[in-house]
Amino acid sequence: MRERHDFFSDNTAGICPEALAAFAAANAGFVPSYGADRLTAQAADAVRALLDADAEVRFVSTGTVANAIACATLCPSAGAVLAYEQAHILIHEAGAPSFFGGGLEIEPLAGIDSRIEPAALDHALARPRGPHERRPAALSLTNATEYGTVYDEAMLARLCGPAKDAGLGIHLDGARLANAVAAGFDPRALTRAGIDIVVLGGSKAGAPFSEAIVLLDTSLARGFDERLRRSGQLTSKMRLLAAPWIGLLDGAGDDCPWIAHARHANAMARRLADGLPFARAYPVESNAVFVTMDGARESALAARGWRFARFEDRSARFVCSWATSKEAVDALIADARDIG
């Protein structure tokens, strides 16, 4: 039996052609190290153009370290980061934000379809806190969300407005921001919403191992490189982290591979959702399909080689990537229908 990891996650796919070509080109010759090179500057300019923002951009190796450093930058060690109750930074990063933030706490907020419920945020901001409680210092959002839904600009503004009024910094985990953009989200809305730090996902979008930390509040750049160095993320061969972004963001607007590949992944997810004989657990708005499935059907699919993830709510997740083919989607649909 051949194991099929096509739909386990979008990080099981390899490097997309555009990122790979840019990575290979960057490998030639000798250039200054630690980001003082032309390619790193070019990649940062491409990120700024995408967001239409005068931002500071840094490249790191994983989304976990990017989110953790972002939270630590915005929140003091005695403070709290407000986040969705099943946010990746709370459930799947082994306490990295607290580790990098010297003990900061993540306070969970309730949500609907994995988007934070505005009333839950309002309550967290307004409720009295005693001297022994943490006080919120930052808000963390995710787009596309942990369950594949997408915040539109109005939803984002509804959450960011009260948070900014309360003096909170705002972090956005954009591991799948490309998929949100491909679904219609305007990346320029991040600046309009007042978000301070955005983590732009590269690995899930087709890069080899690169995420971009975008400091939309450029005042946060003071001391940031020192923070990266202490975190082991001031990479000597920085051009190799940065170069894939040149390939991903090459082209105009929605035609750049970062968005075009995400649009393909989203389309494959819709095709999969329409064909699977299981009830959907959440709206399919990006590249992930969550369904309800009993243990017998899970075992039957596993026996045919298909690997997929079970989430905290026990829904089954299937994720499409830049490399997902119609043939793979249709093969999974056929097996799912065959097992009844």
Instruction: List, in sequence order, every beta strand (DSSP E) within the chain.
Output: 56-60, 79-84, 105-109, 111-112, 115-116, 135-142, 169-174, 197-201, 211-215, 288-291, 309-310, 316-319
What CATH number should be reported for the domain whose range is 17-252?
A: 3.40.640.10
Q: What SS3 class is residue 53?
A: coil
174-202 mean pLDDT: 98
**Percent of the residues in the chain that have a pLDDT greater than 70, as a whole number:** 99
Residue 255 confidence (pLDDT): 87
131-156 mean pLDDT: 97
The answer on pLDDT for 199 being more than 80 is: yes
Full DSSP string of 84-127: ETT-HHHHSSTTHHHHHTTS-EEEEE-EETTEEPHHHHHHHHHS
The CATH number of domain 255-338 is 3.30.70.141? no
94-114 mean pLDDT: 96
229-236 mean pLDDT: 94
Residue 234 confidence (pLDDT): 92
DSSP-assigned beta bridge partners for residue 172: 141, 198
- Which band of pLDDT confidence, cut at 50, 70 and 90, is reported for residue 95? very high
Residue 118 confidence (pLDDT): 98
SS3 content of the chain, % helix, strand, coil (to 5): 40, 15, 40
Write out the residue limits of the CATH 3.40.640.10 domain(s) in the chain. Answer: 17-252
Write out the residue limits of the CATH 3.90.1150.10 domain(s) in the chain. Answer: 255-338
292-313 mean pLDDT: 93
Residue 253 confidence (pLDDT): 76
Q: DSSP class of residue 207?
A: -
The answer on pLDDT for 1 being more than 70 is: no
296-313 mean pLDDT: 93
The answer on pLDDT for 165 being more than 70 is: yes
The answer on pLDDT for 312 being more than 90 is: no
The answer to whether the pTM exceeds 0.85 is yes
The H helix count followed by the E strand count for the chain is: 14, 12
Question: What residues contact 306, with CB distance under 8 A and at least 6 apart?
Answer: 4, 7, 332, 335
Residue 287 confidence (pLDDT): 98
Q: Average model confidence (pLDDT) for the chain? A: 96
Residue 52 confidence (pLDDT): 96
